[in-house]
Chains A and B, each alone.
Chain A
Amino acid sequence: MSEWWSYSLADFLLFSPRVYYRLFETLNTTWWLAVTAALVAGIITFGLSIRHGNRGNRVALVLLAMIWGWVTAGFLWYYYQPINWIIPYFIPAFITEALLMVMFAARRMPLRFGWRGDFSSIAGGVMIAMAIFVYPFVGLIEGRELIQAELFGSAADPTAIGTLGFILLARGSWRWVLLPVPLVWCVLASGTLWVMDQNIAMLPLTAVWLTVLGGWMDQKNGVTRRSLLDTGGDD
């Protein structure tokens, strides 16, 4: 691409906010049952992930994997791909993320969810709560209709933010393998929303910074390296 310096982010965004938010309206109304089920699955996963001990780990991972599969097939593939040229490059990454979660669920204790009470746990919990309970309704402040709410479990942005929270709640080095896809997606989401002049653009980027900070503190405190066997029995 010649004269690349003359291009701005806006030159790569080929759809309008009107069309973008219609995606969620159509998704929510057409697939309301699946959208509701995915949201409930997210809430259950949140509950399982903050419980003490290891019980429910596998269920949480499987539910998260199903959510990522649904976001890929339902939202990215059918709705978002036709209007955004970059999505086909992300679909394999989203599928890989879901498969990694399934693999981790099948293995014996590659990572463990659980509340530790440290910075990462708090940040992770806040990010998940925000993704599930707050993010969908931020649009109301900006004048959008409730039917256009971006719901965790079906819309990519809150799902990626919440997944970063789940990763922070987990222990074990393998959790970092799950990090790149939601992290990169959040950066892309922030850029997209920023170009569309949406105030919500700061939320995905805030999630990225919290994740990086939490990960750094976990490394510093040795949380990541601590034996997963410390926390008790398998589920």
Chain B
Amino acid sequence: MFLLGRRNFLRGATAIGATAGLGAIKPLWAQTLDNRAVLDVIKKPIPSTGEMIPAVGLGSWITFNVGNDPVLRDQCANVMQAFFDGGGRMIDSSPMYGSSQDVIGYGLDKLGARDRVFSTDKVWTSDDGAEQIAETSNYWNIEKFDLLQVHNLVGINDNLPLLFDMKDEGRLRYVGVTTSHGRRTDDLIAVMKNTPLDFVQVTYNPVDRKIEDYLLPLASERGIGVIVNRPFQGGHLIDRLEGEKLPDFAAEIEVRSWAQLILKYLISHPAVTCPIPATTQPMHAMENMQAATGPMPDDDMRQRIAAVIGVL
């Protein structure tokens, strides 16, 4: 079976898009969005409230840290456009991510999309958390975030009570805590057991599966939503799989790329609310959203996905 790799697909799409641009035609990703019916994106409930949210979000780590470059800021806005048009809502950032928050604010301004976004950010300081949250609000130009999380448990003894106070006062909808790379999992589990969190954000993908044993069942038991960061291991997993043939069973769940296979693996876990892949390409954002459509793998197929990816 001829398989178009994610990058080759993008190169072709970019070339076609550039050619199309000569005739003042929209780039391929925008045409593709125009030419199909609105995606019937799977939504999953936030356990603490039952609010439904699209099962794929958008991360901004590295990809949206483009500084003052006007060309790259517009490219990021295009990614957000494709994400929203594909049915996405949750965009996640952090004060740690350089200019990402500012770039998201720019994109929301440009697209007029503040009513479409599920705004998700973090507090990451051992000093004045309230001051940092105020700065973050300025970058996004948003008064009330949907979700704020204590980033990597930094300053958690001060920042978590601050976030719960904001929620009690109606200035914040949801409270969460994040880790990544499997760090401080024991500390995170202790927080999950002892505080009424709405969300945790953790690293999870078919080759980083430690949280399946205890953390994900605990999240289900405690009614805590799970946001998945590093679904592609920061892009390394996709790089590793590029050029490899998709398994035959991928067609059964209407998957056309490794990225979609990985995302379906994550979405189909009952405890997972929303993976947040990051990308610099509108076409990839759209492709990621398409992973939240169609049939999902059952337990048996999930095991096969992990097995296949684990050995490649």
Contacts and interface: CB of A to CB of B under 8 A. Distances in A.
Interface residues of B, number: 21
Contact of A19 (B72, B183, B187): B72
Contacts of A79: 67-68
Interface centre among B61, B68, B102, by most chain A C-beta atoms within 10 angstroms, is B68
B98 A22 contact: no
A15 B183 contact: no
A13 B124 CA distance: 17
A26 B67 CA distance: 11
Interface in B50-90: 61-63, 65-69, 71-72
A9 to B, nearest CB: 14
A15 B184 contact: no
A82 B68 contact: yes
B97 interface: yes
Contacts of B66: 15, 19, 22, 83
A143 to B, nearest CB: 15
Contacts of B97: 14
Contacts of A3: 183-184
Contacts of B137: none
Contacts, number: 55
A85 B71 contact: no
B65 A19 contact: yes
B181 interface: yes
B65 A22 contact: no
Contacts of A80: 67
A23 interface: yes
Contacts of A84: 98
A6 B181 contact: yes
Closest 9 CB pairs of A and B: A82-B67, A82-B99, A83-B67, A83-B98, A15-B65, A14-B98, A83-B65, A3-B183, A19-B66
Interface of A: 2-3, 6, 11, 14-16, 18-19, 22-23, 26, 78-80, 82-85
Interface of B: 61-63, 65-69, 71-72, 96-99, 102, 153, 181, 183-184, 187, 280
11 contacts: A2-B184, A6-B181, A11-B181, A14-B62, A19-B66, A22-B71, A22-B72, A26-B69, A78-B68, A79-B68, A82-B98
